[in-house]
Structure 1
Amino acid sequence: MAGGAMNRMFFAPALALVAAPLAGCGGAADQPPLAGARIGGPFALTDQNGRTVRDTDFAGRYRIVYFGYTYCPDVCPTDMQKIGQAMRELDRTDAKVAQKVVPIFITVDPERDTPAAIKQFVANFHPRIVGLTGTPEQIAKVAKDYAVYFKKQPAGAGGGYLVDHLAVAFLMGPQGEPIASLPIDKDGAAIAEQVRHWVR
């Protein structure tokens, strides 16, 4: 999925648009990079066990939110592996921090990503990852709310297709507020370090 990887390069300018209201504002030296950005919002989706999950179900907990899809040939599984590594490191070294964090995988391919498909996928990375799917309309809305671009590519001769999408992992706060984008271009240790820095 070269397109998904390529979209990492376009994240900074895209983020500048959603964070534009911050321009010129003062703040603490350690203010979260995404404080005040228009990222996130209410949702009601279906988890890997077929249950309805709402954003309010995560109130009081930090969230690592990643958009991808289970048929992704390279970028998504690699990124999710790094998130899983970060969570395992936190489980081992900072259990109190780890318990405050919920990793969330939201599909951008609801046509193929049933709850069963997502359940099999997220089980490969960490036992506490919540996988979410929904109708195409629900997914389009939540992706828009998180400023995540995605586009289904034309199907090949065998009927399979790729989904181009922005590859980014957001750290969201206990009230659903955006805090930072995590360094998924690095490794699990770098992600864990950033989570430790921001989770209180």
Structure 2
Amino acid sequence: MTEIPERRHALPASFRSSRRRLLRRAPAALALLGAAGSALLAGCERSPSAAAFKSLDITGADYARQLALTDARTEQPFLLSNLKGKVAVVFFGYTQCPDVCPTTLTALAETQRLLGPDGQRLVGVFVTVDPKRDTAPLMKAYVGSFSPDWVPLRGSADEVAAAAREFKIFYREVPGKTESSYTIDHTAASFVFDPQGKVRLYVRHNTPPADLAADIRTLLAQAG
């Protein structure tokens, strides 16, 4: 799988002020989100259920099978199997990302709202690709500002790199004006796991929340 990352330059003053601006703009921004196009992914198979998903069906993929990092809320080891019984949406990013990351998490929060009572069965999982700056307290505060029940994950540089390889995630540092002001180009897509803990969907950036909510309802209906 090859993703073309988007380059980001200016950093926000703080993630709180950035999120407030995004939330004010969310209704108009979400209305402009377009449907994602189709693409071929290596190692993917169509779901045997032949369910009509709006996102890309990667049921049976030979990647994104495991995720073993540290939960920044508890600083304890985390495994995807911890979330069995729920639909998990996994996204790789970093807290100082100026737009793609907070926009994605804002859209995921809207997806959860659209699901109504079923929203309690959806968990967002945010994996940092910036372990040097994204400390456990910062990760906990950042992800918690979108939902206190979502999972912020971090690890050593080697652990994050291994997780990114498992998910076929691209990321690289882009130098800034100072040593600590770098930005990061990274894959801007999410992965959806069904209640059995199996990867099922590849969700492109800017997928409308209503489309993702429809896909999650389908997964929940399949799980019973």
TM more than 0.5: yes
Mapped pair 1:79 → 2:108: no
Gaps (5+ residues) in structure 2?
9-36
Give the Å deviation of 1:158.
Answer: 5.9
Give the superposition deviation at 1:191.
2.1
Flag as ranges the 4+ runs of structure 1 deviating above 4 A.
none
Cα offset, 1:27, TM superposition? 3.7
Judge conservation of contact 1:58–1:174 (CA < 8 Å) in 2.
yes
Is 2:160 aligned against 1:136? Answer: no
Letter in 1 for 2:62: R
- 1:106-185 equivalent positions in 2, closer than 5 A: 106-157=127-178, 159-182=180-203, 184-185=205-206
User: 2:47 touches 2:60 (CA, 8 Å); kept in 1?
Assistant: no
Report which stretch shifted further, 174-183 or 104-113. Answer: 174-183
Partner of 2:94: 69
Q: In structure 1, what is the Cα distance between the partners aligned to 2:47 and 2:72?
A: 42
1:52-79 CA distance string (max 9 Å, x none): 2122212333211111100101110011
In the alignment, residue 81 of structure 2 is paired with which amino acid?
Answer: T
Answer whether contact 2:172 2:186 (CA < 8 A) is retained.
Answer: yes
Aligned counterpart in structure 1 of residue 59 of structure 2, from 35, 49, 61: 35
Deviation per CA, 1:152-178: give whole Å up to 9, x if none.
222423631111110111111233321
2:7 partner amino acid: G
Identity %: 29
Give the TM-score normalised by structure 2: 0.73
Q: Structure 1 residue 199: deviation in Å?
A: 2.0
Whether 1:47 and 2:71 are equivalent positions in the alignment is: yes
Runs of 5+ unmatched residues, structure 1:
5-10
Give the distance between the partners of 2:148 and 2:62, measured in 1 at CA: 30
The answer as to 2:191 corresponding to 1:191 is: no
2:7 aligns to what SS in structure 1? helix
**SS of the residue aligned with 1:83?**
helix
TM-score normalized by structure 1?
0.81
Could you give the per-residue CA deviations for residues 127-152 of structure 1, whole angstroms, max 9, x where no partner exists? 22111101111111111111111112
- Secondary structure of 1:128's counterpart equals coil
1:75-129 deviations in whole A, cap 9, x for unaligned? 1001111001111222xx2x1x323322111111111111111111112212221
The alignment's C-alpha RMSD in Å is: 2.5
CA–CA separation in structure 1 for the residues paired with 2:207 and 2:64: 24
CA distance in 1, matches of 2:186, 2:77: 24
SS in 2 for 1:138: helix
Q: Equivalents in 1 of 2:85, 2:207: separation in Å? A: 28
